[in-house]
Chain A
Amino acid sequence: MLNVLELQLEKHGDWHIGVVVNNDFLFYTTEELITVPLANYPAEVQLIFTGKKYNVVEHSDNYCKFKHLFLNQLEFPYLIQQAKFNSDNLEYKVIDACDYINLNGVWQIDIHQDTAEQQLRKII
């Protein structure tokens, strides 16, 4: 229940997501609920989104939307503001506070020991 980041996605189309924490590759998933264990802080969490083929017409509408972010069982909607997305598209190279992905790339968020406390202070 503790030291866990849970990401609830809404997916359209095929996406393969690699999960990396502090440069350690943990697993691949195609699921909409991703549970990321956080062994140490600060934890640099990266989701590597692949699978979208830009030259395939059927893939043009493929996307991933972040619906809910849970840290230690608590939902923190403003946590998304700390995320950024590095895409493989030169025109949209870096997208801050990214909750919608329709390009291949790396979504990243840094979780610190006091992140939950800071988020609670924002919403209480």
Chain B
Amino acid sequence: MIGYIENFFTADEVEWLKWYWSVLPNKLDTGQRLRSMAYYDQPFFNKMLQRLNDKILPNEEITTVNLYSDYSPGGVHSDGYIDFDKKDIMGHTYLIPFNIDGNFATVIFDKTSEEAVTLNAELGMGNSGIVTYKQVDRDFFELNNTPFDKELYNQYLTHLDYNTIAGLKVEQVQHWKLGRAAVWPRKNLHCSANFNGPAVRETVLIATRKC
């Protein structure tokens, strides 16, 4: 599925997430965002995990829950497997904003990778934003030189090098809404739409596997 789950979080849950983000002690700066694990698999989080399990799509199991606060738009990547979950059948990524101050979007592309990979180095972003994903180049996806849709580029992706994303097509532009989940297959390449900082962009990201 590529689409939305409306009201994924209630207003109370949104307030709770703001609070939880504020008290989490270990936030890592990845170069584009602050990140913290939610510690979803720890006993102290059990009550909230039950809530999350009730919200995701049927026949899926949560494997990752992270919280983010972005200060810079990111590059193109998939949320496929890393070493620890390489035997899993990839489920979906759920991106849910819980504190935002503007109109933001995530662009979902047509190309896929079951393994977590990024084009960030190819895009000139180096390892910024993504510290654990494998860096790949355009050949990995056998991208041709068909120019990327200029209108979509100008509207959403001007932080990326235009020629580097030639050959990619957009499946959907997902617009952010407080408490609403933007959902796409983990294997699909995707990218934050450009935004002008400073901005408030606090989100929960849930990754699942099929079960």
Instruction: Say yes or no: B25 contacts A73, CB within 8 Å.
Output: no
Q: Which of B150-198 contact A (CB under 8 A)?
A: none
In the complex, A63 has a CB within 8 A of chain B: no
Quick one: which of B12, B19, B44, B48 contacts A123, CB cutoff 8 A? B44
In the complex, A116 has a CB within 8 A of chain B: yes
Complex Cα distance, B18 from A72, in Å, reads 12
Given contacts A1-B12, A1-B13, A1-B16, are A74 and B44 in contact (CB under 8 A)? yes
Total count of chain A residues near the partner, CB < 8 A:
16
In the complex, B26 has a CB within 8 A of chain A: yes
Complex Cα distance, B46 from A123, in Å, reads 14
Quick one: which of B16, B42, B48 contacts A2, CB cutoff 8 A? B16
Residues 95-123 of chain A, each 1 if its beta carbon lies under 8 Å from chain B, else 0: 00000000000000000001011001101
Instruction: Say yes or no: A72 contacts B24, CB within 8 Å.
Output: no
Residues 65-88 of chain A, each 1 if its beta carbon lies under 8 Å from chain B, else 0: 000001011111100000000000
In the complex, B141 has a CB within 8 A of chain A: no
Chain B residue nearest to A75 (CB atoms) is B44
In the complex, A39 has a CB within 8 A of chain B: no
In the complex, B43 has a CB within 8 A of chain A: yes
In the complex, A124 has a CB within 8 A of chain B: yes
User: Given the complex, which residues of B lie within 8 Å of A76, measured CB to CB?
Assistant: 44
Complex Cα distance, B37 from A120, in Å, reads 13
Chain B interface size band reads 10 to 19
Complex Cα distance, B50 from A70, in Å, reads 15
Chain A residue nearest to B36 (CB atoms) is A124
Minimum CB–CB distance for B34 against chain A, Å = 16
Chain B residue nearest to A114 (CB atoms) is B23
Instruction: Say yes or no: A121 contacts B25, CB within 8 Å.
Output: yes
In the complex, B41 has a CB within 8 A of chain A: no
Q: Which of B12-68 contact A (CB under 8 A)?
A: 12-13, 15-16, 19, 23-26, 39, 42-48
Instruction: Say yes or no: A75 contacts B47, CB within 8 Å.
Output: yes
Complex Cα distance, B48 from A114, in Å, reads 20
User: Given the complex, which residues of B lie within 8 Å of A77, measured CB to CB?
Assistant: 44
Chain B residue nearest to A119 (CB atoms) is B44
Given contacts A123-B42, A123-B44, are A116 and B16 in contact (CB under 8 A)? no
Chain B residue nearest to A3 (CB atoms) is B19
Could you jot down 20 A-B contacts, CB within 8 Å? A1-B12, A1-B15, A2-B12, A2-B16, A2-B19, A73-B48, A74-B47, A74-B48, A75-B43, A75-B47, A76-B44, A77-B44, A114-B23, A117-B25, A120-B24, A120-B44, A124-B24, A124-B25, A124-B39, A124-B42
Query: Closest 6 CB pairs between A and B?
Result: A117-B23, A1-B16, A75-B44, A1-B12, A73-B47, A121-B25
